[in-house]
Amino acid sequence: MNLNAQPLPTSNNISALGRHFQKIIMPLWQSNGWNPTLRLPYESLGSVNGLPLPATYYRAMACARQLYIFSHEGTSGSPIAARADELFASLLLYFSDSQ
């Protein structure tokens, strides 16, 4: 680690993070990161193979974070927007409190 290195400007960091989400994270969330049976995202993926780790629970807040990202990244009619719709329906099904 070079302690004398100057940090990148914030705009470069934001751009790099956006590219990382588009090229790495979103494809994983759309494929291995999705449980098609429950229509919910898996809690975590293995760092070596990218396959889902055994699901012991699903957290509404973790699902809501993905819904937020899907909602902002997807354009009307896109696969990401469709996934946002599907996830929203699942959140209502599994986590809503009718009282």
7-57: per-residue pLDDT in tens?
A: 666 888 888 888 998 898 889 988 999 999 999 999 899 988 889 999 888
Predicted confidence at residue 99, as pLDDT, reads 83
Rounded mean pLDDT, 75-82? 86
Dist. CA 18–CA 94, nearest whole Å: 30
User: pTM for the complete prediction?
Assistant: 0.76
What confidence score (pLDDT) does residue 83 get? 92
